[in-house]
Amino acid sequence: MRVLLVEDEPRMAAALRAALTVKHDMVMDHVATLADAELVAGDIGYDAILLDRQLPDGDGLDLVPRLRNKGVTLPIIVITAKGTVPDRVTGLELGADDYLAKPFSLDELIARLRAVMRRPSALNPSRISVGKLSSDGAFRDIRIGGRPFELPRREILVLECLMRRVGRMVPRPVLMEAVFSLDDEIQSNALDSHISRLRRKLAAAQAGVVVNVVRGLGYMLREEL
Ligand code: CA
CATH of the domain at 76: 3.40.50.2300
Identify whether residues 59 and 149 lie together within a single domain: no
In this prediction, residue 1 carries a pLDDT of 80
- The C-alpha atoms of residue 34 and residue 57 are separated, in whole angstroms, by 6
**8 by DSSP, 3-state: which?**
coil
pLDDT single digits (tens) 8-51: 999 999 999 999 988 888 889 999 999 999 988 877 778 899 99
Separation of CA 178 and ligand 1 centre (Å): 28
Identify whether residues 89 and 183 lie together within a single domain: no
CA angle, 191 then 3 then 221, to 5° = 35
Which of 83-116 are b and which e, b meaning 16 or more Cβ less than 10 Å from the residue's Cβ? Answer: beeebbebbeebbbbbbbeeeeeeeebeebbeeb
- For residue 51, being part of any structural domain is answered with yes
Contact 209, 133 (CB under 8 A): yes
- For residue 47, being part of any structural domain is answered with yes
Q: Are strands 98-101 and 169-171 parallel, antiparallel or unpaired?
A: unpaired
Separation of CA 172 and ligand 1 centre (Å): 35
Separation of CA 70 and ligand 1 centre (Å): 24
- The C-alpha atoms of residue 214 and residue 212 are separated, in whole angstroms, by 6
Separation of CA 101 and ligand 1 centre (Å): 12
- For residue 122, being part of any structural domain is answered with no
Identify whether residues 110 and 207 lie together within a single domain: no
Separation of CA 103 and ligand 1 centre (Å): 12
Identify whether residues 144 and 208 lie together within a single domain: yes
- Asked if residue 70 has pLDDT above 90, the reply is no
| Residue where a domain terminates, one of 93, 117, 141 | 117
In this prediction, residue 200 carries a pLDDT of 96
- Does this model's pTM top 0.85? My answer is no
pLDDT single digits (tens) 114-158: 888 776 654 445 578 889 998 876 667 789 988 999 999 889 989
Separation of CA 82 and ligand 1 centre (Å): 10
Q: The domain containing residue 153 runs over which residues?
A: 128-223
Q: For CA atoms 69, 172, 20, 143, give the dihedral sign.
A: positive
- The C-alpha atoms of residue 97 and residue 148 are separated, in whole angstroms, by 31
- The C-alpha atoms of residue 32 and residue 52 are separated, in whole angstroms, by 9
Separation of CA 56 and ligand 1 centre (Å): 7
Identify whether residues 169 and 109 lie together within a single domain: no
